[in-house]
Amino acid sequence: MNPLANRPFVKMNGLGNEILVLDLRADPVEVPAATARALARPSVLPFDQAMVLYPPRREGTAAFVRILNSDGSISAACGNGTRCIAALEAERTGAAHTLFESEAGLLDCHVRPDGQVQVDMGAPRFDWREIPLARDVGDTGQVIIPGFEALGPASLLSMGNPHAVFFVPDANALDVEQLGAALEHHSLFPERANISFASLTAPDRILLHVWERGAGRTRACGTAACATGVSAVRAGRTGRAVTVTLPGGDLQISWREADGHVLMTGPVEREFSGTLSTAMLEEAA
């Protein structure tokens, strides 16, 4: 029998970004890539990211979080998923403040009285080695990507995972699926990349469409919203606090000047909970 059979799960979303939460802190087992793909099937528990909670590695944290995309690949960061697990932990413990750890570092979360969840996503990284890129491209804030010159320069950075942000006249007019799929696998990105197409709609508002690495087009991507807010500031397009509007709704993004950390605030929704069955996992072998 699959060791994940009969384990409880919670299905949530952050602005329509579909999140599966598996709390394995009491009895940790590995969740292989094949299992993630089996669970993400449209007829089973379709998700964009699975947030798998393991016993904490660092004192003062609630859990170590392993993040899997729907294709089974690993992601070091997921802003919408982090808001979801923060809300669940607040529900479980009654504490509004929670600290998680992921491959991207510490995630400081606060559930506000209005139910919105704020996450400190840490500081962005701009060095080509840390994003990472295949080669030194000079200024990572203005990069023309070979084969996609018509899109103009991209802002390249890491928010725990690699991002390419294009500011375009009308993000609604682009073929996000075609462009995103091609750019995700561009040779410039050895670990693939999240691809964002953004348009400024007001001095403090940005319209955003995202093709997410390992998941495809999503209704929302928290780290992409953070990357876009940071990119707008770097290019002198906005101030340090912006509202980013995705197909799923709005995220408030603030790039703090004091320590360079990015704060993301937005809603979460609990959809349903259940127990993993052998039938759900049958294709994982």
Look at residue 250 in the predicted model and tell me its pLDDT: 98
68: nearest Cα among 44, 32, 98: 32
pLDDT in tens, 1-33: 789 999 999 999 999 999 999 999 999 999 999
Whether 256 and 272 map to the same domain: the answer is no
d(CA 84, CA 10): 10
Q: Cα–Cα distances in Å, from 114 out to 14, 63, 109, 219, 268?
A: 15, 24, 14, 22, 11
Q: What is the pLDDT of residue 285?
A: 55
139 domain residue, yes or no: no
Active site residues: 78, 221
pLDDT digits (tens, 9 = 90+) for 48-83: 999 999 999 999 999 999 999 999 999 989 999 999
Q: Is residue 129 one of the residues assigned to a domain?
A: no
Query: What's residue 284's pLDDT?
Result: 63
Q: Residue 71's domain is classified under what CATH number?
A: 3.10.310.10
pTM, whole model, 2 decimals?
0.93
* Pair 61, 16 in one domain: yes
137 in any annotated domain: no
Low-confidence stretches of the chain (pLDDT beneath 70): 284-285
Q: How many domains does the chain have?
A: 2
If phi > 0 it is left, if psi is from -120 to 50 it is alpha, else beta; for residue 37 that is alpha
Residue 184: give the domain boundaries: 149-260
Residues 235 and 278 in one domain: no
pLDDT computed for residue 104 by the predictor: 87
